[in-house]
Amino acid sequence: MANTLSGTAGHRALLLLHAPAEQVTDRIPATLGVIEPIDDHTCRLLTGADSLEYLAYRVAVLGYDFDILDPPELGDHLRTLGERVLRAAHTAERAGDAK
């Protein structure tokens, strides 16, 4: 796997994606990450962003299940993002119930 990304990403992440590399490559442009096949069902993605908060958003919306290989602190940002999204979803449910 190449150790460089296009651009000047200040924060990088290495993820194990639970999807075939061919499928991921069709969805993620080369400018957003380097994809390395592992087997027929998984691949690694090296990606980056200017902040861990934005990196958390980007990996959350990839559309694939994934594991964080590095950095571990990305998990904290994903947890915060997930809690924020769940709160918004509950608010929407309560608003729908009130109608």
Domain assignment of residue 17, yes or no? yes
Domain assignment of residue 48, yes or no? yes
Q: Can you list the alpha helix ranges (DSSP code H) found in 11-73?
A: 21-27, 52-60
Q: What is the pLDDT of residue 3?
A: 41
User: Which CATH number do you get for residue 77?
Assistant: 3.30.70
Domain assignment of residue 20, yes or no? yes
User: How many domains are contained in the chain?
Assistant: 1
Query: Taking the model in full, what pTM does it have?
Result: 0.81
Tens-digit pLDDT profile for residues 32-80: 899 999 999 999 999 999 999 999 999 999 999 999 999 999 999 999 9
- 11 pLDDT tier (thresholds 50, 70, 90): very high
Give kind and range of the element (H or E) at residue 99.
none
Q: What is the pLDDT of residue 68?
A: 97
Confidence check: pLDDT of 5 > 50: yes
Percentage of the chain beyond pLDDT 70 is: 90
